[in-house]
Amino acid sequence: MYPKGLPSIGLDALDSIGFDNVIVSRIEPDGPATLDLRFHNLTVRGFADSTVAEAKGFDGELPRVLEISGWIPLLKLDGYYEMHGSLLTMPIQGKGQAQVEIKECRFRCKVRAVEQLRGDGKRYADIAKVKCLLEVQGMHLNFENLFNNPELSDAMNSVANTKWLDIWHTLRKGITSAVDQLVESLLKRVANQLPYDNFYRD
């Protein structure tokens, strides 16, 4: 891994990665979600310490599905949140700064790559889709200014952290979607710079 990035191949620094807007959960008509939660100016830290345990499919012809699996000891999300709805059957609303820590995050990502032939006569891998599965061993939440009341914020955060596994099941889809976006963005930047013939094959 290159935690500080490798600009020559389009790889940004992994120690701090930003998102403008991330929707973690959205209430939709006739949908199962009871919580609307989104982040603005979200910073994700922890990818610099990730370990890739296995990589499959990085040879042969395109199109193909690549698989990457590994773990991240501690993933930190920090940003401005807006939330309303219900969580753990309790009404909740607020906006302000939030910190989310995800512990011992194991990931398995499937990446669909198709061939792109460019004017330079070389073949490149075009990253068409990324889908990840995440399993975690712990999560800690701190949402400031819930109900516009510091005492209620502390109480609600305490309950949420006691029932972190239930919270994870509620937020998993949105957090996983953010990771999908992040991995896709990183891989696209690298694949855009390195010809398939140079990078994926001997």
On average, the pLDDT of the chain sits at 86
2 part of a folded domain? no
22 part of a folded domain? yes
- Percent of the chain with pLDDT strictly greater than 70: 89
| pTM exceeding the 0.85 threshold for the entire prediction | no
Q: Is residue 130 a contact partner of residue 187, using CB atoms and an 8 Å limit?
A: yes
Q: In the predicted model, is pLDDT for residue 109 greater than 50?
A: yes
1 part of a folded domain? no
pLDDT of residue 78: 96
122 part of a folded domain? yes
- Residue-wise pLDDT tens digits, 136-160: 999 999 999 999 999 999 999 999 9
Counted domains in the chain: 1
| CA–CA separation, 66 and 199 (whole Å) | 14
173 part of a folded domain? yes
The average pLDDT across 104-109 equals 96
Q: In the predicted model, is pLDDT for residue 7 greater than 70?
A: no
DSSP secondary structure, the chain, as one string: --TT-BGGGTB--SS-EEEEEEEEE---TT-S--EEEEEEEEEEE-GGG-EEEEEE--SSPSSEEEEEEEEEEEEEEEEEEEEEEEETTEEEEEEEEEEEEEEEEEEEEEEEEEEEE-TTS-EEEEEEEEEEEEE-SEEEEEETTBTT-HHHHHHHHHHHHHTHHHHHHHHHHHHHHHHHHHHHHHHHHHHHHS-HHHHT--
The average pLDDT across 78-103 equals 94
- Residue-wise pLDDT tens digits, 44-77: 898 888 898 998 887 767 888 989 999 999 999 9
pLDDT of residue 17: 80
What's 65's domain CATH number?
Answer: 3.15.10.30
Q: In the predicted model, is pLDDT for residue 4 greater than 60?
A: no
How many residues would you count in the chain?
202
Q: In the predicted model, is pLDDT for residue 132 greater than 70?
A: yes
pLDDT of residue 5: 46
- Domain enclosing residue 46, as ranges: 7-199
